[in-house]
């Protein structure tokens, strides 16, 4: 990479030390959304421990690092969280520069908090390197403003993972705010989520965007409504990774479409 010296000096402090773990976000998929310091760390790491959402294109920037995959693949269950943290600790104790690389941002539905906690407990030095969370990149790619004066004053990032199970988020309360919601990991639970949001007062015609594989090969998107989204996901074969955007901001897409991307 050709960076001017000033940028190089900025990203080289602090130095990636042997025996340290850097917990980093790789952004939504396309390498253009890597931060400068994460791109630099990929080139310097001895070992990269990565999830399924870190794209091949991003990993191809690694020069000499060993790559260790700890995500879900081919329907097999993912490596247990405890085993991942044990691995990170082991590698750090061997004196490696360990880059723990996750899709999006490590602290947004990325279990970065849990891993950092385990490293702190074991007295292993670590840093958190933020990444662009997928929701922001996906909204931008879809021409949907995350916030818009006159339309929204807040935006909720929620996980749909546990929708409908005891102790889950109060979706009806979220509906009452009237503010837009971006649902991560919600493809298989969107039926339940939509029902709860409508019970909470959101109109059934509320626009919903489904943004799949944003910035990745195979990127697709569609617009539906709260009433139709579950059936449309099924009919059009949308699958993870996808984000579901619910609220009036989605209708801005029409106004902004046709602009150069």
Told to judge if 51 belongs to the known catalytic residues of this protein, a careful annotator would answer: yes
Q: Closest CB to ligand SAH among 14 and 113?
A: 113
Q: How many CA atoms lie within 13 A of 49 on its CB side?
A: 24
Please, how many CA atoms are within 13 Å of residue 237, restricted to the half-sphere of its CB?
2
CB of 2 to ligand SAH, least distance (A): 27
Give the integer Cα–Cα distance in Å for 117 and 201. 39
Cα torsion angle, 111, 28, 48, 78, sign: positive
| Cβ 159 to ligand SAH shortest distance, Å | 7
Q: For the stretch 91-126, what's the b/e string if a residue is b when 16 or more beta carbons lie within 10 angstroms of its beta carbon?
A: bbeeebbbbbbbbbbbbbbbebeebbebbeeeebeb
Question: Is 72 marked active-site?
Answer: yes
82 in active site: no
Strands 126-129, 181-184: pairing kind = unpaired
**Which of the following is catalytic: 51, 96, 105, 132?**
51
| Residue of 44, 57, 72, 195 with catalytic role | 72
Contact status: 197 vs ligand SAH (CB under 6 A)? no
**Binding residue for ligand SAH (CB under 6 A) from 130, 180, 207, 241?**
241
Separation in Å, CA 251 to CA 136, 140, 195: 17, 14, 20
222 binds ligand SAH (CB under 6 A): no
For ligand SAH, which is the closer residue by CB, 41 or 212? 212
Reading the block at residue 14, the tokens are 């602090």
Query: Distance of CA 238 to CAs 185, 207, 218, 247, Å?
Result: 12, 17, 11, 20
Question: In the bound complex, what is the minimum distance in angstroms from residue 54's beta carbon to ligand SAH?
Answer: 10
Does 54 contact ligand SAH by CB under 6 A?
no
Between residue 136 and residue 155, which ones bind ligand SAH under the rule CB under 6 A? 138
By the 10 Å C-beta count (0-12 exposed, 13-18 middle, 19+ buried), 13 is classed as: exposed
Taking residues 149 to 188 in sequence order and writing x for each that binds ligand SAH by CB under 6 A, - otherwise, the string is: -----------------------------------xx---
Binding residue for ligand SAH, selected from 99, 214, 224, 226, defined by CB under 6 A: 214
Please give the C-alpha separations between residue 20 and each of 127, 151, 186, in angstroms, as whole numbers.
8, 45, 34
Query: Minimum distance from CB of 6 to ligand SAH (Å)?
Result: 29
Report angle CA 144, 148, 152 to the nearest 5 degrees. Answer: 105
Which 109-138 residues touch ligand SAH, going by CB under 6 A?
109-110, 133-134, 138
β-pair partners for 67? 48
Nearest distance, CB of residue 107 and ligand SAH, angstroms: 8
Q: Which span sits near ligand SAH by CB under 6 A: 65-73, 170-178, 201-209, 213-221? A: 213-221
Q: Could you list the active site residues? A: 51, 72, 185
Binding site for ligand SAH (CB under 6 A): 28-29, 53, 102-105, 108-110, 133-134, 138, 184-185, 211-216, 240-243
């Amino acid at each position: 990479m050709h960076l001017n010296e000033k940028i190089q000096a900025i990203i080289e402090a602090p130095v990636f030390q042997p025996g340290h773990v850097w917990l980093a976000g790789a952004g939504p998929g396309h390498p253009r959304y890597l931060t400068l310091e994460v791109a630099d760390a990929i080139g310097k790491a001895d070992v990269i421990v990565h999830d399924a959402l870190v794209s091949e294109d991003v990993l191809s920037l690694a020069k000499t690092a060993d790559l260790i995959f700890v995500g879900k693949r081919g329907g097999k269950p993912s490596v247990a969280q405890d085993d991942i943290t044990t691995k990170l600790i082991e590698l750090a104790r061997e004196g490696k520069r360990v880059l723990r690389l996750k899709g999006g941002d490590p602290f947004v539905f990325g279990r970065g908090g849990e891993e950092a906690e385990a490293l702190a407990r074991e007295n292993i030095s670590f840093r958190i390197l933020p990444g662009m969370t997928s929701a922001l990149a996906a909204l931008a790619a879809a021409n949907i403003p995350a916030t818009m004066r006159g339309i929204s004053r807040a935006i909720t990032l929620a996980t749909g993972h546990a929708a409908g199970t005891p102790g889950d988020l109060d979706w009806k309360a979220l509906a009452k705010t009237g503010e837009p919601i971006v649902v991560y990991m919600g493809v298989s639970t969107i039926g339940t989520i939509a029902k709860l949001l409508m019970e909470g007062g959101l109109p059934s015609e509320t626009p919903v965007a489904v943004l799949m594989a944003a910035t990745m090969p195979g990127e697709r998107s569609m617009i539906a409504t709260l009433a139709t989204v579950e059936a449309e996901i099924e009919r059009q074969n949308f699958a993870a990774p996808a984000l579901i955007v619910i609220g009036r901001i989605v209708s801005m897409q029409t106004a902004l479409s046709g602009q150069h991307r």
